[in-house]
A and B are shown apart, each in its own frame.
Chain A
Amino acid sequence: GQQVMQIPQYQHVQEGEDFTTYCNSSTTLSNIQWYKQRPGGHPVFLIQLVKSGEVKKQKRLTFQFGEAKKNSSLHITATQTTDVGTYFCAGQMRGYGGATNKLIFGTGTLLAVQP
């Protein structure tokens, strides 16, 4: 079946250090979305990438979508304690559209930031 894997599962950094999580899909994606989930919270939408090779930035966060539309990455520059949480990528599979557009979530990367 369709799978979306993320590495690493867990990353512990000192505040101010950079952080990157990588997402790989077993199938080509129509688009990829990134969500952040704080401990005990719900997934909060961060960004959507649609085009092959797309790069988007949100302040200290940089998101990339691979040329083959099967992988993606999220990079955080100079982490802060407020960045703590689990970062999930979620892919929408190519060929699905309209009424479905279900999200296949990645396995997530838990980020811990030490002050």
Chain B
Amino acid sequence: EPEVTQTPSHQVTQMGQEVILRCVPISNHLYFYWYRQILGQKVEFLVSFYNNEISEKSEIFDDQFSVERPDGSNFTLKIRSTKLEDSAMYFCASRGGRNSEQYFGPGTRLTVT
């Protein structure tokens, strides 16, 4: 069964450093998402991406965040200057059709020290 993959599984970085989280969505999917989950809390929407542009972003997704689909397979989330409060699990998700379900990747645990 096709699945969403994410790398790395765990990233430790120092405050102020840039990080890039990588995702490979399911190959025929068209809609891509990033969510985050702070430990013990609910999953929060960050950004949606379709047709090579951001379709919606949340208040969390400020100027420090950016997304890119540099080629036909990867979908990346960049945090320019990490803060302690960026420590969380980041999930990538993708979906195929307009009303179909979203499939989540295994997540990247980001720890900012």
Residue of A nearest to B49 (CB): A99
Asked whether A58 is an interface residue with its Cβ less than 8 Å from the other chain, the reply is: no
**Bound CA–CA A97/B99 (angstroms):** 8
B107 — nearest CB in chain A belongs to which residue? A42
Q: Which residues of A contact B98 (CB under 8 A)?
A: 97-98, 101
A81-115 interface code vs B (CB 8 A; 1 in, 0 out): 00000001010000011111111111110000000
Range of interface residues on B (Cβ < 8 Å)? 20 to 34
Name the residue of chain B whose CB is nearest to the CB of A104.
B45
Please classify the interface of chain B as helix (H, G, I), strand (E, B), loop, or mixed, using the class held by over half of its residues: strand
A98 CA to B102 CA in the complex, in Å? 13
Q: Which residues of B contact A107 (CB under 8 A)?
A: 42
Instruction: For the complex formed, measure the closest distance between the CB of B36 and the CB atoms of chain A, giving whole angstroms.
Output: 11
Kindly identify which residue among B45, B51, B55 contacts A103, using a CB–CB cutoff of 8 Å: B45
The residues of B with any CB-CB pair to A shorter than 8 Å are 31, 33, 35, 42-45, 48, 50-51, 55-56, 58, 91, 95, 98-99, 101-107
The 4 closest A-B pairs by CB, nearest first: A99-B55, A99-B50, A105-B43, A100-B56
